[in-house]
């Protein structure tokens, strides 16, 4: 057999194996579970949702009506904080922003890629509880991403026969 051909074959195979391994290990597969970025204001879910038992949808008020659960606009914070704990510098920061008509740039925690469409409203209407995906938020001092939010994780639930959920690609991708 031609020696050159063997060498070339070996070289190509090596490149392919290395490349495949590289592609596998270098792509981010961690999906950010546990991602707990520092927020501009150290909002404490365990205090609001845990201790004071404020229902999730008091603040995330569009979860039932829209695709987005939405981070509350500042006037919702001010509903209480006009009078509650006004001496805190963090609350003063919110008040100041609100009065100026400015906003707070919260750091996004649960991030789905742009090509994935998730609809909060549909899941709530089906009776899925917030903690199924978001974990025990009432215990989180700093909010973090609980689940992987990977496609495999979504599909695992959608495939369960009792859920009778759609699994067509265009359910989420369009």
Q: Which residues bind another protein (CB under 8 A)?
A: 19, 22, 26-28, 30, 32, 37, 62, 65-68, 70-75, 97-98, 100-108, 111, 113-117, 119, 121-122, 125, 166, 168-170, 173-174
- Which of 12/51 has CB closer to another protein? 12
* Rounded distance between C-alpha atoms, residue 16 and residue 10, angstroms: 10
- Which of 46/110 has CB closer to another protein? 110
- Which of 51/66 has CB closer to another protein? 66
Least distance in angstroms from the C-beta of 106 to another protein: 5
User: DSSP secondary structure string, 79-91?
Assistant: HHHTTSSTTSHHH
The tokens of 78 are what? 């001010």
Least distance in angstroms from the C-beta of 38 to another protein: 10
Hunting for tokens 């004071």 — which residue is that?
52
* Rounded distance between C-alpha atoms, residue 113 and residue 29, angstroms: 13
- Which of 1/162 has CB closer to another protein? 162
Residues 6+ apart with CB under 8 A from 73: 103
Least distance in angstroms from the C-beta of 134 to another protein: 15
- Which of 98/146 has CB closer to another protein? 98
Please check whether residue 139 is in contact with residue 146, taking contact to mean a CB–CB distance below 8 angstroms.
no
Least distance in angstroms from the C-beta of 110 to another protein: 10
The tokens of 116 are what? 């994935």
């Amino acid at each position: 057999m031609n020696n050159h051909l063997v060498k070339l074959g070996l070289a190509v195979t090596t490149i392919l194996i290395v490349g495949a391994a590289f592609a596998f290990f270098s792509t981010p597969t961690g999906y950010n579970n546990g991602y707990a970025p520092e927020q501009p204001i150290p909002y404490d879910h365990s205090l609001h949702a845990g201790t004071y038992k404020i229902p999730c949808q008091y603040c995330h008020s569009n979860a039932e009506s829209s695709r987005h659960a939405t981070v509350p606009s500042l006037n919702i914070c001010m509903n209480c904080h006009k009078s509650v704990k006004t001496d805190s510098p963090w609350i003063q920061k919110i008040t100041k922003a609100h009065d100026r008509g400015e906003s707070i740039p919260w750091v996004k925690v649960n991030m789905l890629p742009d090509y994935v469409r998730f609809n909060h409203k549909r899941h709530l209407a089906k009776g899925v509880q917030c903690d199924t995906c978001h974990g025990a938020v009432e215990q989180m001092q700093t909010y973090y991403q609980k689940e992987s939010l990977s496609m495999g994780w979504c599909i695992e639930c959608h495939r369960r026969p009792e859920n009778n959920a759609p699994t067509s690609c265009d359910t989420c991708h369009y």
